[in-house]
Amino acid sequence: MRVRGPLAAPWLSLTMFAASAASMALEIVAGRMLAPYVGMSLYSWTAIIAVVLAGLSLGHWLGGIAADRSARPARVAGLALLAAAATAALSVAVLPLVAPALARLDPMQGIGLLSVSAFLLPSLFAGVLSPLVTRLALDAARPGRQGRVLGRMFALGALGAIAGTVLAGFWMVSDLGSRASVLAVAGCYLVLAPPFLAAAGRVAALALAGLIGIGALLGPRLMPALASPCTAETAYYCIRIDHVRLNGRPATVLVLDHLAHGMNDPVPTVLPMAYLDLADRLVRRRMPDRPPEAFFVGGGALTLPRAWAAGWPGARITVAEIDPGVTAAAGRMGVDVSAFEILHSDARIALRDLPEGRRFDVILSDVFRDIAMPQHLVTDEFHALVAARLKPGGVYLVNVIEALWRPPFLLSLIRTLKARFPVVELWIDTAELSREERRVTWLVLASDRPTGTDRIDTAHPLPRTWLRLPAERMLTVLPADQTVFLTDDLAPVDRLMRHVMLDRRLAED
């Protein structure tokens, strides 16, 4: 049955464009939706893209069959739009409901099933729509112009996909938030439906009544699931601030996506995280008589900059934090962010663009996406930039989360650092060596001179012992072909970290 009337062709074109935009917007937003439960990594994005494409492909197939067999393709298109809207809206509630159960599975299975449970059906119904709308446009075309119509519909579908990708990536997630963005996608499908539903008669009325009834029945039960797990949501992170007690003392924890990325004690000079305490002591050993000039790659909760600003008068501190929302969260945790120079920029760009001749006593890298470091901040080219920005005797410190035994990324980083720094040291808290979990926190030190000790003991605020492990001996733990010299051309961080990211025992917060 043809869709008639002066608005038929323009509405069909608009539908193809807008529905394609909505389906791609949902794909982009899906990554942010999964982040509070499984983080954002190569594996989560791979699962999302595969599931969305699988849904669209299956939908195209089924829609093509319906376009051939149905005498009223407009009716089927209208019902597909209703189904796409309903399943897209339901995905907001589905994720928090199923995530606790799926979190107990192997991470690869959990990521895949979460993606399928929330995003397969909206993509499938959006895919059903395209062949039906194209069939209607061909039916309405004048003889001899079917090829042009077909090309126009394909082009509008591709342009819509581009528009949805750009709109979601540059505006929707950061300004609306992920849940509101998904509901906007559902609303888009609903707005497109009326001209098609007009051709569906009683079927449309029954479908709408059924959706309203289901919504009235399930709505009150689903409302708690609609609450966002984020204190704030930005283009980069789902940000949450938790209040906990650590060693009998209150503390605030900065959670980015699904992992803690910083912890602050009420007393600024107390460092509750052991690796930051170690970094503080290593720097003080090297410059006991003067405050440092320091550059931080990543701000997070600003724990160490806050401690140095409070306890080391005269310290000049510059922080590169790409996300202003993270800085704002640190402010809500009680940090005086005006005490530092904060550059809201990618750290590599910020370090590169500093005035010529600007040098630092300390550069500390503490930045992660999930538990993996960003690829461009671990390469030989970045290390060359770091080395050029250090003063003589200066030190580069890198926080690394890795496996305790046979850590390929850690060893690749050491191998790469040794090309630019005469001294590379590997430090670990002895408490980490006794943990049942194999994932530990390492602190890597690179400089032009050694620390001069193999062990650091403290009694305050907690008794701790840190050991320096021989970097050269550590490099023999794995064969050379299992490590990588990291460059801008080849830095497979996700592959090197795969054993940690995909082991549920290691990846749990």
347, 282: one domain? yes
Least confident stretch, 1-10, 107-116, 185-194: 1-10
Order of strands across the sheet with 390-403?
Answer: 341-343, 316-320, 293-297, 360-365, 390-403, 439-447, 423-429, 464-469, 455-458
* Mean pLDDT across 204-225: 56
Yes or no: say if 408 and 496 are a contact pair by the CB < 8 Å rule: yes
* Mean pLDDT across 130-155: 87
**Is the pLDDT assigned to residue 502 strictly greater than 70?**
no
217, 93: one domain? yes
Whole domain around residue 332: which residue ranges? 273-507
* Residue 457, in any domain of the structure: yes
Residue 214: its pLDDT value, please? 56
User: 416: closest CA among 373, 454, 456?
Assistant: 373
Strands 316-320 and 390-403: unpaired
- Strand partners of residue 341: 318
218, 364: one domain? no
323, 199: one domain? no
Question: Where among 229, 259, 282 does a domain terminate?
Answer: 229
Q: At 329, which CATH number? A: 3.40.50.150
Average pLDDT, the chain: 86
**Is the pLDDT assigned to residue 314 strictly greater than 90?**
no
306, 215: one domain? no
224, 282: one domain? no
Q: Where are the beta strands (DSSP E) in 298-407?
A: 316-320, 341-343, 360-365, 390-403
286, 198: one domain? no
Yes or no: say if 502 and 109 are a contact pair by the CB < 8 Å rule: no
* Residue 332, in any domain of the structure: yes
157, 104: one domain? yes
Question: How many domains does the structure of the chain reveal?
Answer: 2
Question: Where among 229, 256, 285 does a domain terminate?
Answer: 229
107, 196: one domain? yes
213, 324: one domain? no
The residue ranking higher by pLDDT, 408 or 461, is: 408
203, 299: one domain? no
Residue 2: its pLDDT value, please? 46
Q: At 92, which CATH number? A: 1.20.1250.20
| Predicted model pTM | 0.82
Residue 238: its pLDDT value, please? 86
* Residue 1, in any domain of the structure: no
Predicted confidence band at 484 (pLDDT cuts at 50, 70, 90)? very high
